[in-house]
Structure 1
Amino acid sequence: MVVDDLKKIDIATGSEADKLAATIKNALDKKHLLVIIGRCSVDYEGRGKSRLESGDRIVIVKQDGSVLVHRPVGFAPVNWQPGSARITIRVTGGRGLELVSVRASPREILRVVFEDVYIVIVGFGLSDAGEFTMYVDEEELKNIIEKEPSLVEEGLRIVEREYRIGDFYVDFYAKDKMNNDVLIEVKDEKAGVGSVVQLYKYLLEAQRRNMKVRGILVSVGFSREAAMLAEKLGIKRVEINPKEIYAKYIEEKRTGEKSLERFFSGKNDN
């Protein structure tokens, strides 16, 4: 049936597996958003193997073919499959439903077997062009860098965070692969001349203390003037994309895969 006040939503209920399968197949063929709530078990095979025993779940198939399996509690999916997968639905011998998502490369198979389907919701003609802006803040950036200093520079080793030099505190005191002293400042907004001058003051103070030191300024971007001044003063620039870093950081925490490196780009290696 179609809900009158939600013209883009179609809802199917009932115990007839053939009709539910037809509704789901039609949604998959037309690349509609699909939500299935029911009792199911889930098997995954690909980069590893997993088995999720039977339970009440919410299965979401998005318009790009992404599949997410949610428990009734918690914000993160317990199983998922990226978009661009081939998805099929069939009625099982026990008159349940089997939804299979197959990803070609890397080869991954997500199999969801429903013992009982409570409701099927289809969203059609849905669109979303709104821009989503989410930025990792300065403290989170520092936490990421502290855990993975090689994101800033290969061979870098953090010695101390919030390192005091005279009357100043620099974000990081580190050692590079040649065991040279390095001072690092991190900015969660576009760096201007003031940011470069700030780090240069720290470097001068360190040099007065006979440290063989160089500076690295990590920022989401650099003004033209800041970039020119950094080059003139011998300060290395590392530009980051905080929105993508945050998304990848969350993904890494979930999967354990390392994928952050490509969001850090070193410039003006001096």
Structure 2
Amino acid sequence: MRLVIAECSVDYVGRLKAHLPRAVRLLMVKADGSVLVHSDGGSYKPLNWMSPPARLHVGPSEEEDPDVEEVWTVQAAKTDDRLVVRVHAKHHDSEHELGVDPGLIKDGVEADLQRLLAEQMDVLGPGYNLVRREYPTAIGPVDLLARDGAGHTVAVELKRRGDIDGVEQLTRYLELLNRDPLLAPVRGIFAAQQIRPQARVLAVDRGIDCVTLDYDAMRGVDDSAGRLF
């Protein structure tokens, strides 16, 4: 991984256009080919990024602005999208070998929910089929990637207790996945045993469906005969 702290401006050009004016930011270049632009705020969400597969070219500036030392052009391999970083000054530049990451180990209930839902996709609705568990993205794996009855791509994020952070996490995954023309359009499902009202409101506002999971019923230990309701 390469870490560069630099004064820079950033432009994303393609299906979407975005501009970050000149400021000091962290530029992160990962071994998988992704490039992420971070500020010193906003938690772990990058301000902008390019997902792999992509090609990074770093060269001298050919622009009229004498303050630009070099230009990073990150070209997506499958689309015409590109991320252009104009570096005005570097404050730090280092490379680190992180090795192979073993991946996130979920707690028992969340891991069970993922396994059970992967085996019981009809809980989400008729015609759902699993594509892959732990579908990789540049910012972490999506719990489940599926196709609905109409063949559309669906990203599913699973939690024991669904709160706003979980909705934000799924939103970031959807932003990345919808950049892939082989998957887009991708919609989201936020699934949990309990979903907080604020999280449900945020999810609905962002076009994300919410599904409440009955863990005992999915495990086959739900005594429906003994229920009063």
* TM-score computed with the length of structure 1 as normaliser: 0.44
Aligned length: 143
Match of residue 46 from structure 1: 14
Q: Counterparts of 1:184-263 in structure 2 under 5 Å?
A: 188=113, 219-221=117-119, 241=133, 243-244=143-144, 245-246=156-157, 250=168, 253-254=171-172, 257=178, 258-260=186-188
2: CA distance, partners of 1:250 / 1:88:
31
- Deviation string 1:41-81 (CA, Å, 9 cap, x unpaired) is 00011111111101110000001110000011122000000
- Which residue matches 2:138? none
1:133 aligns with 2:105: yes
Measured after TM superposition, the shift of residue 105 of structure 1 is 1.5
Q: Which runs of 5+ in 1 are unaligned?
A: 1-32, 139-186, 192-218, 223-229, 231-235, 262-270
Deviations, residues 13-55 of structure 1 (Å, cap 9, x unaligned)? xxxxxxxxxxxxxxxxxxxx21110110000111111111011
Residues 246/119 of structure 1: CA separation in 2 closer, same or farther (3 Å cut): same
Gap regions ≥5 residues in structure 2: 134-141, 145-155, 159-165, 179-185, 190-229
- For residues 128 and 14 of structure 2, the distance between their equivalents in structure 1, rounded to whole angstroms, comes to 36
Tell which structure's C-alpha radius of gyration is larger. Answer: 1
- Aligned residue among 70, 86, 109 for 2:82: 109
Q: 1:259 offset after TM fit, Å?
A: 4.1
Query: What residue is the counterpart of 1:179 in the other structure?
Result: none
CA RMSD of aligned residues (A): 3.8
For 2:143, give the aligned amino acid.
K
Relative to the length of structure 2, the TM-score reads 0.51
One of 26, 29, 41 as aligned partner of 1:58: 26
Shift in Å, 1:127: 1.0
Alignment-derived partner of residue 12 in structure 1: none
Tell me: CA distance 1:250–1:128, structure 2 relative to 1, closer, same or farther (3 Å). Answer: farther
Offset, 1:90: 1.4
Q: Give me the whole-angstrom Cα distance separating, in 2, the residues matched to 1:36 and 1:115.
A: 12
Q: Which has the higher helix share?
A: 1
Identity, % of aligned positions:
23
Matched to 1:120, the amino acid is: D
